[in-house]
Amino acid sequence: MNAPILEVRAVSKTFQRTGKPSVEALARIDLSFAPGEFVSIVGASGSGKSTLIRIIDGLLQPTSGEVCVEGKPVTSPGPDRAVVFQQDSLLPWKSVMDNVMYGLRIARVPHAQARSTAQHFIDLAGLTGFETHYPHQLSGGMRQRVNVARALAVSPKILLLDEPFAALDSQTREIMQTELLKIWDAEKKTVVLITHQIEEAVFLSDRVIVFSARPGKVKASITIDLPRPRPLAMKRTTAFTGHVDHIWKLIEDEVRSAMGLATLT
C-alpha cells in the first residue's frame, strides 16, 4: 500500500473572539489520504469542513495538531496544494488564457511553456475556443472550469475544493460533476472536496468522510465501492441510493438541529 500523500494528525481549531465566547470548530481530526484518491467531506453546516480545508491549504494554523504533505508539516500555502472556493476568483480584466496562466507566470515559468501548459488544461476543461474570452462573457459553470484549470496548471499534488459548484443551478452542477471526474481521471490528483450535497459526494468519491456537528469530529468514513467510470445514470441505481441513504441517516439529526428543528424519533 502506498504511503499517504496527505495526513491530518490530531488537528483541533478554536477561534478566539474578543468579548465573546471562543468557538471550537474542530476537535482532534485524524485523516489520511492516498495518492490519487478522491475524498469528500460532508456534515451539518458549521461542522468545521471549510475550516479544515483552509488548515490543509495553510491559510489557517491549527490550535493543536498538524497537517503533513508527504511527511512534511504544512506551515503556509505552497505549490503542492491548490484550492478552488465556492465563488470564482478570476481576474475580470484578464482573458481565460491569462487567468489560467496566472499562477505559472507568478512562478516565473517562461511564457511559451506557461502558454502551452495553460492550453492543455483549457482543453482538458472543455474550454477550447474560449481562450480570449473574459470572465463576464462566461457562464457560472464555465468560470468554475477556468478556476479548476488554473488550479491544475500549477501542477499541485493535492486539489482542495470547497463547495465549488454550490452557486450553480442543479442541471449545470450535474454536468460539472461529470466534467470534474473526467479531469480527475486524466490527471489523477489527490482531491479533497467539501460539499453539503450527499449525492454529489457519493457520485464523485472513492471515500466519504462524515463530520459530526460542531466541534467537527470524524463520525464515519464510508468507502464508495461503485464502479468507474460513473455516468449520471448511476444516480438512479439501488447501490447509489443505498450509499446516500446510509450517509443521510448518519447526519440527519445533526442537520435538523443546526436548522433549529426537532430531531425525528
pLDDT computed for residue 87 by the predictor: 79
In degrees, rounded to 5, the angle at the alpha carbon of residue 88 between the alpha carbons of residues 251 and 144 is 80
Does 234 fall in a domain? Answer: no
pLDDT computed for residue 166 by the predictor: 87
Does 105 fall in a domain? Answer: yes
Print burial letters for 133-171: b (CB count within 10 Å at least 16), e (below 16).
ebbeebebbbbbbbbbbbbbbbbbbbbbbbbbbeebeee
pLDDT computed for residue 252 by the predictor: 87
Q: Looking at the predicted structure, is the pLDDT value of residue 14 above 60?
A: yes
pLDDT computed for residue 258 by the predictor: 64
Mean pLDDT over each residue of the chain, to the nearest integer: 92
The larger pLDDT score, comparing residue 264 to residue 239, is at 239
Cα–Cα distance for residue pair 181/144, rounded to 1 Å: 14
Q: Looking at the predicted structure, is the pLDDT value of residue 263 above 80?
A: no
Work out the pLDDT band at 261, boundaries 50, 70, 90. Answer: low
Q: Looking at the predicted structure, is the pLDDT value of residue 257 above 70?
A: no
pLDDT computed for residue 259 by the predictor: 67
Cα–Cα distance for residue pair 174/169, rounded to 1 Å: 9
Instruction: Of 221, 188, 180, 168, give the one whose Cα is nearest residue 204.
Output: 180
Cα–Cα distance for residue pair 16/244, rounded to 1 Å: 36
Is 0.95 surpassed by the pTM of this model? Answer: no
Q: Looking at the predicted structure, is the pLDDT value of residue 139 above 60?
A: yes
Work out the pLDDT band at 264, boundaries 50, 70, 90. Answer: low
Work out the pLDDT band at 207, boundaries 50, 70, 90. Answer: very high
Average pLDDT over residues 190-203: 96
The larger pLDDT score, comparing residue 263 to residue 229, is at 229
Does 122 fall in a domain? Answer: yes
Q: Looking at the predicted structure, is the pLDDT value of residue 262 above 60?
A: no
Phi, psi dihedral angles at 191 (to 5 degrees) = -120, 135
Q: Looking at the predicted structure, is the pLDDT value of residue 129 above 80?
A: yes
Does 38 fall in a domain? Answer: no
pLDDT computed for residue 72 by the predictor: 96
The string of pLDDT tens digits covering residues 143-177 is 999 999 999 999 999 999 999 988 888 888 998 89
Give me the amino acid identity at 138. L
Number of domains present in the structure of the chain: 1
Does 106 fall in a domain? Answer: yes
Does 128 fall in a domain? Answer: yes
The string of pLDDT tens digits covering residues 16-53 is 988 889 999 999 999 999 999 999 999 988 889 999 99
Range of the domain at 102: 92-155
- Residues 186 and 109: beta-carbon distance below 8 Å: no
Q: Looking at the predicted structure, is the pLDDT value of residue 1 above 70?
A: no
Does 109 fall in a domain? Answer: yes
Does 144 fall in a domain? Answer: yes
